[in-house]
Amino acid sequence: MNTTHTTNRTPTTPTPSPERPMNNHTNPWADEQLIEHAENINEHAQAMTRDTVIEPVFVASTLYTVLGDLHTAGFAQLLRQLGQGLTASARCYTLTEDNPERDPETSIALAVEQLRHAAHAAEELTRHLVAAQNAIAGQGHQGYHKCNQPNQPNQPQPANQGDPWAKDEEGRA
């Protein structure tokens, strides 16, 4: 399922207010590019999930490369920069809220706090990805995929037997 919600967007030019004039960093085309990049990340992550859903078999060298790409993606830095950009929006725009009882700057502060937590979680994720990559760094293979050969003793196990990702009856891992 394609979750892209945009088609042929035309960025709106922000209207500066007298108390919050536009600065050199306010660029509506950059906003559109940021949204497009986020949509691409979403699409690629969903594609990777779909491609690995049925009894995947990955040699360490493949997974080593994937883990390297994931841990160098810079998610923590991205999340911090998104928070900084959101904070800066209060200086550059006249902000409004759909709910008149909410203050835009309070909403920004709450979102930035959550982005800070997400950045910390991304740093933890990066540490685990690096550790997983290091754990398989020296592993190789002989290029023969024995799981697809009939009458071989080393056949893949039926789903969930010996699977560290399997869940119990109550859905807990």
Does 35 reside within a domain?
no
Give the pLDDT of residue 165.
62
Residue 141 confidence (pLDDT): 82
Whole-number pLDDT of residue 56: 78
- pLDDT, residue 8, reads 36
Select from 16, 17, 25 the least CA-distant residue to 84.
25
Going residue by residue through the chain (173 aa), what tens digit of pLDDT does each one get?
A: 333 333 333 333 444 444 444 444 556 668 889 899 999 999 999 999 998 888 778 889 989 999 999 999 999 999 999 999 999 998 888 999 999 999 999 999 999 999 999 999 999 999 999 999 999 999 988 866 677 655 545 444 444 555 666 666 666 65
Give pLDDT, residue 30: 80
Collapsing DSSP to helix, strand or coil, 20 comes out as: strand
Domain contains 100: yes
Q: What is the predicted pLDDT for the residue at 54? A: 80
Q: Is residue 147 part of a domain?
A: no
Give the per-residue pLDDT at 2: 37
- Give yes or no for a contact between 130 and 71, defined as CB atoms under 8 angstroms apart: yes
Residue 100: give the domain boundaries. Answer: 58-138
Number of domains in the chain: 1
Q: Quick check: is 170 in a domain?
A: no
**DSSP character string of 112-167:** HHHHHHHHHHHHHHHHHHHHHHHHTTT----S--GGGSTT-SSPPPPTTTT-TT--
Structure tokens at 39: 């949509």
Residue 8 lies in a domain: no
Domain-embedded: residue 38: no
Whether 42 is in a domain gets the answer: no
Residue 88 lies in a domain: yes
